[in-house]
Structure 1
Amino acid sequence: MQNVNSISNTISPKPVAINIEALYQSQNERLRRFIQKRIWHKEDAEEVLQLTYLEAMRCKEKFNGGSKPETWLFGIAVNLTRNYFKQHYGQTHLEEMTDSIVCDLQAEVEENPAILVEHERMLVKTVEAMDSLPEDTQSILQMIVDGDYSYQDTATQIGVPIGTIRSRLSRARQVLKRYLD
């Protein structure tokens, strides 16, 4: 007959030592690409990357060895990415065009005029890509981006489930990404 200590050990495994620094050295670039595929805004992706390591350091005592350390780290990143989308869900991020931003943009163009040409080329390609989308998807994009509608408001307005909105936008993102690559 097993004693109580051996039973509790099988129910809740003891923490295993994990080296966050070694994980950082071996997985940082892979983890960065993983997050950037999901969060396109570079600064937000970097923030989620940093939060992933902070959370890993905070919870390293809880790592029980039930998975590879890399899998555990990527799981943290997945959860933080989900939290990012929940936090930003239905909210449009707009940055006010201040004089300092205009000055920075002008200085950037003066320093390297090719940037202006590249931005214009990307804008033309983006508009072409958006024009290639089905009309119903274009109207969803217009409601969400231009009309500042949330996904739920868009679904209600069109009369479809919110999952339909999400799947159409997901397909649209894939089309746009392929078109722009």
Structure 2
Amino acid sequence: MMTIFYPIGDGLYVNITNKCPCKCVFCIRDIKETVGENDNLWLDHDPSLDEIKEELKNFDLNEYKEVVFCGFGEPMMRLETLIKTAEYIKSIADIKTRVNTNGLGDLINNTDVADCIKDVIDSVSVSLNAPDKDSYIRISRPSFGEKSYDAILKFAKRCKDEGIETVFSVVDEITEEEIEKSRDVAESIGIKLRVRYKNS
């Protein structure tokens, strides 16, 4: 049985794909098969919308503060499924929706993703992970190469402009100096930075 939904704290997380265009040096998938006390997050296949709806029946959305699209892959790899799932969730419950993303959705889908998700996603957390292009490529190892970093900044700004609550994040494995430089980058476009703690 696949783990499509898994709870963490007051959030219900949605694992819709294991595909990702990055091979981050700190990726949790290289260390363990799950997050928290949940079951294995490796999927046999990308679940269909019907499978997602069926699995959701096992959870009471009233017990959660938000639904978060974040699993063992990049949710934007399945943009249409993400949008339809979020639409369905919004149709059956008054609950916030968030996407944790590497910010490369525009390159993945060759479209303006912020415009596509603005009606169904309330907030996004974008993995910045580095204060500059060279560091980002070294740390995140994106398949799109050098254009990736600028694409992340553009995506985040577009989300902010569309009224989506937007936050950048970095992992605490980078140096304090790099964290502060990343904060400067984030604040230069009016977006807050959050530090993610790898072992928490």
TM-score (norm 2): 0.23
Larger helix share, 1 or 2? 1
Larger strand share, 1 or 2? 2
Larger radius of gyration: 1
